[in-house]
Amino acid sequence: MAPNAIATNLSSDSLPMPKDLSSLFVPTMRGPIKSAFKSVMGNPTLAMINMAGGVPHPNTFPILQLQATVKAPTSASAAQSESMLLLDKTRRSQTTESLDELLQYGDGCGADSYCNFLYRHTQRVHNPQYADWGVIASCGNTDSIGKAVALFCQPGDSILVERWTFPGTLSSLRAAGVAPVSVALDSEGMIPEDLDRACHEWSGNTPPRAVYLVPTGQNPTGATMSLVRRKAIYAVAQKHNLAIIEDDPYYFLQLPEFVATSATATAIGVDEPTTTTASSSASVRSRPQSLVPSLLSMDIDGRVIRLDSFSKILAPNLRCGWITAPRYILDKIQILNETTTLQPSGVSQGLISKMLNDVWGMDGWNAHLQELRSVYTRRRNIFIQMVEKHLAGHVEYSVPMAGMFVWMRINFGAAAADKTAMPRLLDAMKKCGVMMAPGMPFSSNGPSPSDHYLRAAFALVDVDMFEPALVRLAQAITGISGRAPTASNDAVKAPLIIPTSTGVAAVNSSS
Ligand SMILES: Cc1ncc(COP(=O)(O)O)c(C=O)c1O
């Protein structure tokens, strides 16, 4: 297999080189560490008889062909609704490697065709403002977070994070012996003044080196940073010379303003994109909203390590994503990849590469991303409408402008000071058959009994389950707060979901 390389921009003479942030690296990452892969495999030329690596001969690979049927990128293009893609054992296509190449050991960068597509995508969407940036394949953002953090923090160090954040990151920090330092956030994400304050009041072993944040459809709060907010955060990072770890799996799920969606649309259990149905919801009329620029796109110093994932925009267990950063930073991540995953599965990379390069193309990919926004817009709108109908007075929340989460602060009324209110609510929810995530695992500040938060995800369940779920939640809250139930909650019968051996069955609560 041809040696892979980080996909980089070679023709960016007019752009400045990134600042050298290598002094922020942990000591073990600073030196000129060599790729173990290269030291064993070398850089063989075709003229060499290469007997360097412990590499099996592809003749022993039993998979001769992989075939997949993929849908058209949008339901609007239903005329050619499905396409076949084929990965052949020995034959490369114009863009994508053969199966033998994909299934062979590769270095810590990823398959060339996969990375080249993502390089072009990143150039088009984020257009980085410095020279010598690149992309490298990742096994998704959970993996990338650990690696990005490992560049800047070692056991005993601290890192700046949002007050509420992705539990996977908190677990990864805990395992690495790195302490999270909480920075306040509001409905627009991390607050720059508080980031500045946290840097000034820093008491860590070493000066602050990195901030980790989720700028779009934040998990768990659903917050999305405005352009102004992003610029202000970037300016604070410049002031304190911080690397920014931009974890952005929900970037392409940015949504237009909330618009009430018709009741008939509520009854439809399938995800019909709002833009393709001419008749029903008011959100059909919303013009496609442009995407808020990423932190990467305003990065003139090369201080952003941007983590992208296919999990929310293709499928989670492909376990594929990509990292964008200055090339000298990617060189370090390559080393970390070579001590862990090497690269994502060649099968996953090959399928994605073939689908995006050869079947959908860049236009189809963009159309797919646009359609996803439409699907999530409809779900968000219906969910918010149900929250307004059934939880008025019971919760405070902001309408999310991206992603799949609504973050609700529960109003327990007279029981607000009761430390058992939240555990009792979770228990009551369990008994009446509805599950949402409590705030506690998302807290970067340690658990507190007065954190009365729930995170509801509107991505998975059928939209006609939104109403019964929220009626049940309202009933559970009412049982603890002692407030009178609202008429709308009385009126709706919330079916109980009874697990059966073959799946689930919905039966009316009165039966
Ligand atoms: C903010 C955030 N980062 C990372 C991940 C994990 O992404 P991946 O599936 O790419 O590992 C999630 C998944 O929920 C997430 O919400």
What are the structural domain ranges in the chain?
7-369, 372-507
The residue to which tokens 């054992």 are assigned? 89
Average pLDDT over residues 248-276: 67
CA of 428 to the centre of ligand 1 (A): 29
Query: Torsion angle, CA of 230/232/234/240, rounded to 10 degrees?
Result: -150
Ligand 1 pocket list (CB less than 6 A): 140-142, 166, 168, 214, 219, 247, 249, 309, 311, 316, 321
pLDDT band at 489 (very low <50, low <70, confident <90, very high): low
Give CA–CA dist 379/457, Å, rounded.
Answer: 10
Question: Is the CATH code 3.40.50.150 the one for domain 7-369?
Answer: no
**Can you tell me which atom of ligand 1 is nearest the CA of 214?**
1
pLDDT of residue 12: 58
- Mean pLDDT across the chain, nearest whole number? 88
pLDDT of residue 349: 98
Q: Which fold has domain 372-507?
A: Aspartate Aminotransferase, domain 1 (3.90.1150)
CA of 142 to the centre of ligand 1 (A): 6
pLDDT of residue 34: 75
CA of 43 to the centre of ligand 1 (A): 35
CA angle 406, 438, 397 (to 5 degrees): 30
pLDDT of residue 204: 77
pLDDT band at 94 (very low <50, low <70, confident <90, very high): confident
Give CA–CA dist 433/207, Å, rounded.
Answer: 48
114-123, 256-265, 326-335, 391-400: least confident range? 256-265
* Rg value, the chain, Cα: 25
CA of 317 to the centre of ligand 1 (A): 12
CA of 167 to the centre of ligand 1 (A): 9
* Residue from 161, 165, 166, 313 to probe ligand 1 pocket by mutation (most atoms less than 8 Å from CB): 166
**Can you tell me which atom of ligand 1 is nearest the CA of 142?**
11
Give CA–CA dist 151/26, Å, rounded.
Answer: 6
pLDDT of residue 404: 98
pLDDT band at 1 (very low <50, low <70, confident <90, very high): very low
Name the pairing type of β-strands 321-326 and 395-396.
unpaired
Average pLDDT over residues 218-238: 98
DSSP three-state, residue 247: strand
Give CA–CA dist 352/70, Å, rounded.
Answer: 11
Question: Does pLDDT of 438 surpass 80?
Answer: yes
pLDDT band at 508 (very low <50, low <70, confident <90, very high): very low
Question: How many residues comprise the chain?
Answer: 511
Closest CA to 274 of 203, 377, 171: 377
Amino acid identity of 220?
P
More confident residue, 134 or 500: 134
Q: Which residue stretches of 299-345 are H helix?
A: 327-338
DSSP three-state, residue 180: strand
Question: Does pLDDT of 273 surpass 50?
Answer: no
Number of H helices, E strands in the chain: 15, 18
